[in-house]
Amino acid sequence: MGRIGRAVAKRAKAFGMKIHYHSRSRLSYDLEEGATYHDNIESLFKISDILSINCPATKETKNIINKKTLEFFSKEAVIINSARGDMIDDDAMVEALKNKKIFALGLDVYNGEPNIHPGYLELPNVFVLPHLGSATKKTRTHMADLAINNIEEFFKSGNCINQVN
Protein backbone atom coordinates (compact mmCIF):
# COMPACT_ATOMS: atom_id res chain seq x y z
CA MET A 1 0.00 0.00 0.00
CA GLY A 2 2.21 2.73 -1.37
CA ARG A 3 1.38 6.33 -2.13
CA ILE A 4 -1.40 5.54 -4.61
CA GLY A 5 -2.85 2.72 -2.51
CA ARG A 6 -2.99 5.00 0.53
CA ALA A 7 -4.71 7.72 -1.54
CA VAL A 8 -7.31 5.19 -2.73
CA ALA A 9 -7.76 3.94 0.86
CA LYS A 10 -8.37 7.48 2.10
CA ARG A 11 -11.16 7.96 -0.43
CA ALA A 12 -12.66 4.52 0.27
CA LYS A 13 -12.72 5.25 4.01
CA ALA A 14 -14.79 8.35 3.28
CA PHE A 15 -17.48 5.96 2.01
CA GLY A 16 -17.30 3.92 5.21
CA MET A 17 -15.24 1.09 3.77
CA LYS A 18 -12.94 -0.98 5.96
CA ILE A 19 -9.44 -1.04 4.52
CA HIS A 20 -7.35 -4.21 4.28
CA TYR A 21 -4.07 -4.46 2.42
CA HIS A 22 -1.15 -6.63 1.46
CA SER A 23 2.27 -5.24 0.71
CA ARG A 24 5.85 -6.47 0.58
CA SER A 25 6.22 -5.11 4.09
CA ARG A 26 3.83 -3.82 6.69
CA LEU A 27 3.40 -0.07 6.91
CA SER A 28 4.18 1.84 10.06
CA TYR A 29 1.22 2.34 12.38
CA ASP A 30 0.80 6.01 11.41
CA LEU A 31 0.76 5.21 7.65
CA GLU A 32 -1.72 2.35 8.12
CA GLU A 33 -4.34 4.78 9.43
CA GLY A 34 -6.42 1.92 10.81
CA ALA A 35 -6.02 -0.44 7.83
CA THR A 36 -5.63 -4.15 8.47
CA TYR A 37 -2.47 -5.79 7.14
CA HIS A 38 -2.49 -9.28 5.55
CA ASP A 39 0.82 -11.07 5.23
CA ASN A 40 -0.44 -13.08 2.24
CA ILE A 41 -2.75 -12.38 -0.66
CA GLU A 42 -4.94 -15.42 -0.02
CA SER A 43 -6.22 -14.03 3.27
CA LEU A 44 -6.69 -10.58 1.72
CA PHE A 45 -8.58 -11.89 -1.30
CA LYS A 46 -10.86 -14.08 0.84
CA ILE A 47 -12.26 -11.07 2.72
CA SER A 48 -12.25 -8.57 -0.18
CA ASP A 49 -15.61 -7.36 -1.43
CA ILE A 50 -13.78 -4.78 -3.54
CA LEU A 51 -10.15 -5.19 -4.52
CA SER A 52 -8.27 -2.23 -5.93
CA ILE A 53 -4.96 -3.25 -7.49
CA ASN A 54 -2.35 -0.53 -6.97
CA CYS A 55 1.03 -2.22 -7.09
CA PRO A 56 4.12 -2.00 -9.27
CA ALA A 57 4.68 -4.41 -12.13
CA THR A 58 7.18 -7.02 -11.00
CA LYS A 59 7.72 -10.69 -11.70
CA GLU A 60 5.88 -11.39 -8.40
CA THR A 61 2.82 -9.33 -9.37
CA LYS A 62 2.49 -10.50 -12.98
CA ASN A 63 -0.80 -12.43 -13.25
CA ILE A 64 -1.37 -12.03 -9.51
CA ILE A 65 -5.03 -12.43 -10.43
CA ASN A 66 -5.18 -15.84 -12.08
CA LYS A 67 -7.29 -18.99 -12.15
CA LYS A 68 -6.01 -20.09 -8.73
CA THR A 69 -6.27 -16.73 -6.95
CA LEU A 70 -9.72 -16.01 -8.40
CA GLU A 71 -10.97 -18.98 -6.39
CA PHE A 72 -10.24 -17.06 -3.15
CA PHE A 73 -12.81 -14.33 -3.88
CA SER A 74 -16.51 -14.40 -3.12
CA LYS A 75 -19.01 -14.35 -5.99
CA GLU A 76 -19.88 -10.76 -5.01
CA ALA A 77 -16.32 -9.48 -5.43
CA VAL A 78 -15.50 -6.50 -7.61
CA ILE A 79 -11.92 -6.20 -8.85
CA ILE A 80 -10.47 -2.91 -10.08
CA ASN A 81 -7.14 -2.69 -11.87
CA SER A 82 -5.52 0.70 -12.30
CA ALA A 83 -1.94 -0.55 -11.90
CA ARG A 84 -0.69 -2.51 -14.92
CA GLY A 85 -2.47 -4.76 -17.40
CA ASP A 86 -0.32 -7.79 -16.77
CA MET A 87 -1.56 -8.08 -13.18
CA ILE A 88 -4.55 -10.06 -14.52
CA ASP A 89 -4.65 -13.30 -16.47
CA ASP A 90 -7.30 -12.22 -18.97
CA ASP A 91 -8.47 -15.69 -19.99
CA ALA A 92 -8.98 -16.71 -16.36
CA MET A 93 -10.77 -13.44 -15.56
CA VAL A 94 -13.13 -13.65 -18.54
CA GLU A 95 -13.98 -17.23 -17.55
CA ALA A 96 -14.64 -16.19 -13.93
CA LEU A 97 -16.86 -13.30 -15.01
CA LYS A 98 -18.83 -15.43 -17.47
CA ASN A 99 -19.34 -18.14 -14.85
CA LYS A 100 -20.33 -15.55 -12.23
CA LYS A 101 -17.43 -16.45 -9.93
CA ILE A 102 -16.59 -12.73 -9.82
CA PHE A 103 -19.33 -10.09 -9.79
CA ALA A 104 -17.64 -7.33 -11.80
CA LEU A 105 -14.37 -5.96 -13.12
CA GLY A 106 -13.16 -2.40 -13.65
CA LEU A 107 -10.14 -1.82 -15.89
CA ASP A 108 -8.19 1.36 -16.47
CA VAL A 109 -5.25 -0.66 -17.77
CA TYR A 110 -5.12 -3.93 -19.63
CA ASN A 111 -2.77 -6.31 -21.40
CA GLY A 112 -1.69 -5.26 -24.88
CA GLU A 113 -2.95 -1.69 -24.73
CA PRO A 114 -4.54 -0.30 -26.83
CA ASN A 115 -5.91 -3.73 -27.76
CA ILE A 116 -8.17 -5.36 -25.22
CA HIS A 117 -9.10 -8.99 -24.71
CA PRO A 118 -12.27 -9.39 -26.83
CA GLY A 119 -13.97 -11.41 -24.09
CA TYR A 120 -14.21 -8.31 -21.90
CA LEU A 121 -16.17 -6.45 -24.56
CA GLU A 122 -18.88 -9.13 -24.56
CA LEU A 123 -19.57 -8.91 -20.84
CA PRO A 124 -22.04 -6.55 -19.17
CA ASN A 125 -20.17 -6.71 -15.84
CA VAL A 126 -16.92 -5.18 -17.16
CA PHE A 127 -16.25 -1.44 -17.07
CA VAL A 128 -13.32 -0.36 -19.26
CA LEU A 129 -11.66 3.05 -19.23
CA PRO A 130 -9.05 4.32 -21.72
CA HIS A 131 -6.16 4.47 -19.20
CA LEU A 132 -7.37 7.61 -17.45
CA GLY A 133 -4.86 7.10 -14.66
CA SER A 134 -2.47 9.04 -16.87
CA ALA A 135 -4.83 12.03 -16.94
CA THR A 136 -2.87 14.18 -14.53
CA LYS A 137 -1.92 17.75 -15.27
CA LYS A 138 1.79 16.87 -15.09
CA THR A 139 1.46 13.91 -17.49
CA ARG A 140 -0.71 15.80 -19.97
CA THR A 141 1.70 18.75 -19.94
CA HIS A 142 4.58 16.36 -20.63
CA MET A 143 2.61 14.78 -23.49
CA ALA A 144 1.91 18.22 -25.00
CA ASP A 145 5.60 19.16 -24.72
CA LEU A 146 6.54 15.89 -26.41
CA ALA A 147 4.13 16.60 -29.29
CA ILE A 148 5.59 20.09 -29.75
CA ASN A 149 9.14 18.72 -29.68
CA ASN A 150 8.17 16.15 -32.33
CA ILE A 151 6.71 18.82 -34.61
CA GLU A 152 9.78 21.05 -34.19
CA GLU A 153 12.12 18.13 -34.93
CA PHE A 154 10.12 17.15 -38.00
CA PHE A 155 10.41 20.62 -39.51
CA LYS A 156 14.08 20.80 -38.57
CA SER A 157 15.26 17.36 -39.76
CA GLY A 158 12.32 15.62 -41.42
CA ASN A 159 12.21 13.04 -38.60
CA CYS A 160 10.19 12.77 -35.43
CA ILE A 161 11.63 12.02 -32.00
CA ASN A 162 8.80 9.57 -31.33
CA GLN A 163 7.39 8.07 -34.50
CA VAL A 164 4.11 6.14 -34.54
CA ASN A 165 3.97 3.40 -37.16
Residues with a known catalytic role: 84, 113, 131
Q: How far apart are CA 11 and CA 20, in angstroms?
A: 14
Residue type (1 letter), 149: N
| Whole-number Å distance between alpha carbons of 66 and 37 | 22
Helix (H, G, I), strand (E, B) or coil at 137: helix
Taking the C-alpha atoms of residue 16 and residue 32, their distance in angstroms, rounded to an integer, is 16
Distance between CA atoms of 25 and 39, rounded to whole angstroms? 8
